[in-house]
Structure formats: structure tokens, C-alpha cells
Amino acid sequence: MDLRLSSQVAVVTGASKGIGLAITRTLLEEGAQVAAVSRKVSPELAALDGPSLLHVAVDLTDPLAPAAAVARAVEAFGGLDILVNNAGGPPPGVSLPRFSFLSPSDDDWRSMFEFNLFSAVRAIRAAVPHLLARGGGSIVNVTSTMGRQPAAVNVDYGAAKAGLAHVTKSVAAEYGAQGIRVNTVAPGATLTPWWTDEGGAADIFASASGSTRAEVLASGAASSMGLLTGRLVSPQEVADVVALLVSPRSGSTTGAEYVVDGGQLKEL
């Protein structure tokens, strides 16, 4: 299927690894020009280098960084059609999960919201005028099933993602008539460096459950979270949904939430 993304200009945050890297790769394969936003260039992102890829090195917890990233994309490619707010998860220097509401301090809550909510709000604010100048465009905010299903774990993270889901619907309502579509993709537990890095979620879960990181990654995490597929989600599976949502082929889809979670969420 031709997603009709040739020559479209996209900004993708958190683009150096995991879901963001998969989104960046997929949009490039579909012919888009992509400003890949991350603090550093990973070897995997560097392997995608070419005339349609621009790396924008910023720390999105800096309040000025999202607008700077959008401006750099517009300067390089002449406009903006797509914004994917993918950056999220543990802020720099933080390991998740946290297993108690009492674990995060006020500073932890602030840094979590800066990274997972406020950076996206600032990027949307910067992107909207440029999208309007092109007659419309598409925004996809990557949230999490934890924003949908409260639990006694990662409470600050889930609250930030729930806030981003609310922002999505509000911005969709305001700008739908002007051609800007805004949607949410909510992944479940996904096989990203958040899980696989040394000291990451797999190691933390293994320590808490008395198992091994290999067991957690193979099936333990999926089983404990109720993923019907019995495995963690692939980053590419999330990227494919994002690519379809930013495509003009999804022209009547806005204010919607698409869950990619291996069957974790079961409520109607």
C-alpha cells in the first residue's frame, strides 16, 4: 500500500532507538523527509543517514528544545507535515519500574512530566503554525497502556501519559476543521532498550520476581502483564500503526487512540 508520504516532512522525537528509531526508518522507507530528534546519534540511526534524514541533537527536557527542533526541520526541509511525539519513558538517568506511589519524589514527578508530557505540549505548540501553513497535517502522540490502566507501579509515568492522551483529544477538537489530525498510539510493554539495557526494566523485574532477565524478556513480563500474544510488542509493530495514522489514507481519523499491546487491555 502506498501511504502517500513521499516528500512529506516529519519530526520524530526520541528517534535514536526503540520505537522512535522504527518510526524514523519506516517513514524514510515511505519517502518522507525526517528530522530525527534525540540527544545523541545511535549507530542504528547513523546507519539511516542520507539526504532525507536530519538529526537534531537536543535534550527535550530543556523547555526551549522542542521549538528549536521544529524550527530546524522547517529550515532544512521547507515546512512541516507530520509531528510524532514519541520521546518518553524514563527521563535521563532514571530506571523504571518503580513499585510504589511513595517512591518518586516531587523532583521525580517534575522530571517525568517534563519528559513525557511537557516536551510534547511544547512540540505541538511549535508545530501547529507550520502545519496550518501547509493546509493541515498530522500529529501522533505515543502514550502507553499505563495511561489507560492505573496500577501500583510507575504512577508518575502513567499520569503523564494519561495527560498526553487528554491533550491529544483537546488539540484534535480545536484544529480538526483546519486540517490538523491528532491521534494517540498507546503501546504496551515493548521490546526496547528500556527493557533490554543493563539495569533496565528486565533486570529490575527479574530481581523483584526472583527470575532471570532472559526469562523476563522471553515470557515472564508478557505473562505477568496479561499480554495474550505471550511476548513483548515489537517496535516495528508500533511504527506501522504510526505510519498509517500520519498518512493521508487516514484522513478521517482524528482524536482517536490506537492500542498496540498484545491484548493487554481487555476492558470495553
Please indicate, yes or no, whether residues 200 and 214 belong to a single structural domain of this protein.
Answer: yes
Instruction: Indicate if 64 and 112 belong to the same structural domain.
Output: yes
**Within 10 Å of residue 38's Cβ, how many Cβ atoms?**
25
**Same domain assignment for residues 88 and 122:** yes
My answer on whether 255 and 176 are in the same domain is yes
Per-residue pLDDT band for 194 (boundaries 50, 70, 90) equals confident
Helix (H, G, I), strand (E, B) or coil at 57: strand
Q: Which residue has the cell 524514510?
A: 28
**231-242 per-position pLDDT tens digit:** 999 999 999 999
Q: Are residues 216 and 244 in the same domain?
A: no
- CATH number of the domain within which 243 lies: 3.40.50.720
Query: What interhelical angle do 18-29 and 235-246 show, nearest 10?
Result: 50
In this prediction, residue 57 carries a pLDDT of 98
Q: Per-residue confidence at 46, pLDDT binned at 50, 70, 90?
A: very high
Q: Is there a domain that residue 84 lies in? A: yes
Q: Which domain holds residue 177?
A: 9-190+234-260
Residues annotated as catalytic (active site), given as ranges: 157
Residues 205 and 76 in one domain: no
Residues 198 and 185 in one domain: no
In this structure, the answer to whether residues 117 and 15 fall within a common structural domain is yes
Is 267 a member of any domain? no
Task: For residue 200, name the pLDDT band (cuts at 50, 70, 90).
Answer: confident
Are 134 and 222 part of one and the same domain? no
Instruction: Return the amino acid letter for 176.
Output: G
Among all chains, which residue has been given the C-alpha cell 516528500? 7
Question: pTM of the full predicted structure?
Answer: 0.96
Residues 86, 211 within the same domain: no
* Residue 172 and residue 52 in one domain: yes
Edge to edge, the sheet with strand 9-13 lists 53-57, 33-38, 9-13, 82-85, 137-142, 180-187, 257-260
Residue at 18 is within a domain: yes
Residue 265 belongs to some domain of the structure: no
Q: Mean of the pLDDT values across residues 138-163? A: 96
Which residue type, as a one-letter code, is found at position 261?
D
Q: Let me know whether 99 and 205 are in one domain.
A: no
